Amino acid sequence: MATITRAEQKSETRRRILDAAESVFTEKGITATTAEVATAAGVSHGSVFVHFPTLANLLTALAVRFGTRLGDMLHTLSEGNSVEDFLYAHLSILGEDEDLYLFFLRNRKLLPPDTAADWLAMQSETAFHFAKMMQREIDAGRVKDVPVYFLFNSWMGIVHYYLENRDLFAPEGNVFARRKSELISSYLHLIQKEI
Amino acid sequence: MKICIACGMPMKDAADYAMGDMTKEYCRFCARPDGTMQSFSEKKMGLTRFLVETQGFDEEAAVQAAVAMMRKLPAWEANFS
């Protein structure tokens, strides 16, 4: 039988605490406590502090975990793939963690400065890949010559509006699972040049 | 995979590294043309410009955001101590 090393056990506990924190914060909001996270994770309150000495450490780890997943995917896609593939991947990743994304979106100004900086870094990484891809498309004459920041902000505006109002757009739950194709095709129709 | 100590970008391929040199700790965007790492003020200016160009931030808000992000990166620790 395989033996679990101390390091593996520590890493597993850390993951459990993060998973629990994601559920607790998305359900109860920014005022949720580390004690509630400990209960949800099935660990002692002290164990949460061993892994995450402050609430900011815990929130930051959540933001970084999500940001790393998103960044890895977009890094791969911004090079040779189509705009459609890029937007599809963006919404797929957000769709996997809609609740967490919405939590950060709504609470950005209330986050500890450290966490807010990581959240901004994540959005900036998305903007970087987005701009690189859009500039390539503008240069190739396939996308209208609009400032890349405006193309990015328009896309994010649509994404955030549908997410903020998902009870109206997809009352059953996941708004991107239901509206992804429509959002992407309509946005492309707005920005692409007639050929 | 290394993370650039000066901007936090994940560096996966040689092309991501300064001068394509995978022994370096910083990325191509944080290097000067001669391959040395940019200074704090050069990086702050570059990151500010990047935020304005890619997200349309107000100039002063972009400076504050750039500094907040740099505060968390190992290359600039001494600038905040």
Chain A, chain B: beta-carbon pairs less than 8 Å apart: 49
DSSP assignment letter at B81: -
Helix (H) or strand (E) run with residue B11 in it: strand B10-11
Q: What is the ipTM of this complex?
A: 0.88
Q: What is the mean pLDDT of chain A?
A: 92
DSSP of A54-82: SHHHHHHHHHHHHHHHHHHHHHHHTTTS-
Interface of A with B in 119-138 (CB under 8 A): 120-121, 123-125, 127-128, 130-131
Domains of chain A: 1-53 (1.10.10.60), 54-191 (1.10.357.10)
Chain B residues in contact with A68 (beta carbon < 8 A): 10
Question: What tens digit of pLDDT does each residue of B8-67 get?
Answer: 888 888 999 999 999 999 999 999 999 999 999 999 999 999 999 999 999 999 999 999
